[in-house]
C-alpha cells in the first residue's frame, strides 16, 4: 500500500469518532492492551506526561512540548484530532511522523488489526507509542482523547499527570454532571505519581483529592499556587510574569498564543514544568521563555484564538463546548470592533442549546456545516437560532465569503463552533 491507500484503509475500515461519534468509543482498554503486547509493549520503556481535561489540554500539551524541545530534549507529542493531515497527531520535535512509517506500520500489522478490530483512535495511540520508542524520545507528551479512565492513552504510566479543568462535554459518554465527568477524568491519576489540576472547582476538588489520596499521589491545584501578572491587561501576552504564592518566580515572558483563556493554561503548564524538573533538570528559564514564545514554530499549533488578519479582524478558534465557547465569546465582545459576524457550524452530539444560549443576539450569524459525517445539517442548526440574525450556507467557505463581503473594515469575523469548522476554514487559507 502507498500512503493514500493506507489512510483510506484506516478511515474506511476502523470505527472513527470523528465520523460516527460515540459508536466508535471503546469503553475498555482490552484492544490497546492487545495492540501494545503485539508491539512489544513500547510504553514500558518511555517517559510520559499525561494531559487530560475538558478544555485546554491541546494547548497545554503543545506548549509543554515546545518547552521540552527548547531545553534540547527529544520530545514526542501525541494529540487529537488533526486539522489537515493525519500525521499531525504524532510528532517528534515538531515534525510529523513520516508517511513511510505509517505505511510500514499498517502493512506489517494489517492482519492483526483486522483480527483485533480496534477503533481508529486505538490504532493511532498504538502507532504513536511504537513511533516514540523507535525514535528514542526523551519524553512523550500524551493528550487524552476522551475522558481518562477508559481512554486508550491510559495504558501509559506517566511521570506525572495533569487535568486542566472540568466542564460539560461528551455528556452522553462521560456523564451529565461535573462530578461524574471528574470521576472519569480522575482515572488517569496513577499510584505515587504527581497530579496537577489546572483549575480548581468546588464541585470536583474533593473527587481529585480523594483519588490522589487513594493512590498516594501528591496533588497541586495550579490556580491556587501560580498566577499571571501582565504589564498590560489588554495585551497580557506581550509581557508578563508568573508568580508563585504571589511572589514573582519568572518574568519577561511572551506568549505566541493570545487567547485570554491561555493565561489559565500557562499557570497549569508552569506547575507541570516545576514538577518535571526532578526528571528534566535542563529546563531553565530560557527554555520556558522560548517555549512559550515559539510554540507555533516548534509544534505547528493552529486554531486557538488565531488571528488571520486585522482589517477586518478575522479570528478563528476550535472552542466547541459551553465552557470553551463562553471564554472565546467573552474575548470577542471585549474587542473595540464596530460589527461582529460569526461563521458557525457544529457537530450533532453536542449540547446545542447550552452553547447557543451563550451566543449573543447582537451579531450576524452565517450558519454552515463542516465537511464531516457527524456535522449537524444547517437546516437543523438553524432551528436553534430563532431570535438571532442569521443566514444559511452550504459549507464553511461560502459562509465565510458572505461574512467577509458584509463586514466593514472596522468590524470583526469569528469562525468557530467546531474543530472541523476551523479545519475547513484554515484549509482554504493555506
Check whether residue 287 and residue 334 sit in a common domain.
no
- Looking at residue 29, its pLDDT comes to 94
Q: Are strands 195-197 and 160-163 parallel, antiparallel or unpaired?
A: parallel
- Looking at residue 320, its pLDDT comes to 93
Q: Rounded to 5 degrees, what angle do the CA atoms 115, 117, 121 make?
A: 140
- Looking at residue 429, its pLDDT comes to 74
Q: What one-character-per-residue DSSP string does 375-411 give?
A: BPPHHHHGGG-TTSEEEE-SSHHHHHHHHHHH--TT-
Listed as ranges, residues in the chain with pLDDT below 50 are 17, 19-21, 23
Domain boundary among 299, 314, 347: 299
* CATH value at residue 78: 3.40.1190.10
Q: With the C-alpha atoms ordered 395, 397, 402, 407, is the resulting torsion angle positive or negative?
A: positive
- Looking at residue 174, its pLDDT comes to 87
Q: How close are the terminal C-alpha atoms of the chain, in Å?
A: 28
Domain boundary among 299, 331, 358: 299
Check whether residue 183 and residue 326 sit in a common domain.
no
Check whether residue 112 and residue 139 sit in a common domain.
yes
Q: How many domains does the chain have?
A: 2
Q: Residue 107: left (phi > 0), alpha (psi -120 to 50), or beta?
A: alpha
The SS3 of residue 139 is strand
Check whether residue 266 and residue 337 sit in a common domain.
no
Structural domain for 425, as ranges: 306-429
Check whether residue 261 and residue 235 sit in a common domain.
yes
Check whether residue 289 and residue 353 sit in a common domain.
no
Check whether residue 55 and residue 173 sit in a common domain.
yes
- Looking at residue 270, its pLDDT comes to 98
Burial of residue 380 (number of CB atoms within 10 Å: 0-12, 13-18, 19+): middle
* CATH value at residue 338: 3.90.190.20
- Looking at residue 430, its pLDDT comes to 60
Check whether residue 151 and residue 281 sit in a common domain.
yes
Check whether residue 206 and residue 352 sit in a common domain.
no
Domain boundary among 267, 299, 331: 299
Check whether residue 208 and residue 251 sit in a common domain.
yes
Check whether residue 236 and residue 129 sit in a common domain.
yes
- Looking at residue 16, its pLDDT comes to 59
Bridge partners (DSSP) of residue 70 are none
- Looking at residue 350, its pLDDT comes to 74
- Looking at residue 20, its pLDDT comes to 44
Check whether residue 141 and residue 218 sit in a common domain.
yes
Amino acid at each position: 500500500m502507498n500512503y493514500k491507500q493506507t489512510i483510506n484503509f484506516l478511515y474506511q475500515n476502523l470505527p472513527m469518532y470523528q465520523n460516527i461519534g460515540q459508536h466508535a468509543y471503546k469503553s475498555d482498554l482490552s484492544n490497546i492492551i492487545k495492540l501494545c503486547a503485539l508491539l512489544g509493549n513500547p510504553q514500558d520503556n518511555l517517559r510520559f506526561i499525561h494531559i487530560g481535561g475538558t478544555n485546554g489540554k491541546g494547548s497545554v500539551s503543545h506548549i509543554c512540548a515546545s518547552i521540552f524541545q527548547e531545553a534540547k530534549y527529544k520530545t514526542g507529542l501525541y494529540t487529537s484530532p488533526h486539522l489537515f493531515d493525519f500525521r499531525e497527531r504524532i510528532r517528534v520535535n515538531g515534525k510529523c511522523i513520516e508517511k513511510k512509517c505509517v505505511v510500514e506500520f499498517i502493512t506489517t500489522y494489517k492482519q492483526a488489526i483486522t483480527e483485533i478490530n480496534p477503533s481508529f483512535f486505538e490504532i493511532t495511540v498504538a502507532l504513536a507509542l511504537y513511533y516514540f520508542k523507535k525514535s528514542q524520545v526523551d519524553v512523550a507528551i500524551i493528550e487524552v482523547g476522551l475522558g481518562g479512565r477508559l481512554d486508550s492513552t491510559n495504558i501509559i504510566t506517566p511521570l506525572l499527570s495533569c487535568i486542566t479543568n472540568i466542564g460539560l462535554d461528551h455528556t452522553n459518554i462521560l456523564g451529565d454532571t461535573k462530578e461524574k465527568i471528574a470521576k472519569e477524568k480522575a482515572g488517569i491519576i496513577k499510584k505515587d505519581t504527581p497530579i496537577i489540576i489546572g483549575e480548581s472547582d468546588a464541585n470536583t476538588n474533593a473527587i481529585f483529592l480523594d483519588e490522589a489520596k487513594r493512590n498516594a499521589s501528591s496533588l497541586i491545584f495550579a490556580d491556587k499556587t501560580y498566577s499571571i501578572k501582565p504589564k498590560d491587561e489588554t495585551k497580557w501576552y506581550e509581557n508578563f510574569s508568573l508568580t508563585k504564592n504571589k511572589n514573582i518566580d519568572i518574568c519577561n515572558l511572551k506568549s505566541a498564543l493570545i487567547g485570554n483563556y491561555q493565561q489559565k493554561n500557562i499557570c497549569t503548564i508552569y506547575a507541570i514544568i516545576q514538577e518535571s524538573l526532578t526528571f528534566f533538570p535542563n529546563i531553565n528559564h530560557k527554555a520556558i521563555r522560548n517555549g512559550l514564545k515559539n510554540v507555533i514554530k516548534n509544534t505547528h499549533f493552529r486554531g486557538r484564538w488565531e488571528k488571520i488578519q486585522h482589517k477586518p479582524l478575522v479570528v478563528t478558534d476550535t472552542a466547541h463546548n459551553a465552557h470553551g465557547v463562553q471564554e472565546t465569546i467573552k474575548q470577542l465582545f471585549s474587542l473595540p470592533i464596530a460589527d461582529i459576524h460569526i461563521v458557525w457550524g457544529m457537530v450533532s452530539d453536542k449540547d446545542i442549546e447550552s452553547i447557543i444560549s451563550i451566543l449573543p443576539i447582537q451579531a450576524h450569524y452565517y450558519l454552515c456545516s463542516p465537511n464531516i459525517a457527524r456535522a449537524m445539517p444547517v437546516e437543523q442548526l438553524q432551528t436553534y437560532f430563532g431570535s438571532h440574525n442569521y443566514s444559511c450556507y452550504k459549507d464553511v467557505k461560502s459562509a465565510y465569503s458572505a461574512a467577509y463581503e458584509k463586514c466593514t473594515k472596522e468590524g470583526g469575523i469569528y469562525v468557530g463552533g467546531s474543530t472541523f469548522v476551523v479545519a475547513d476554514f484554515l484549509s482554504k487559507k493555506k
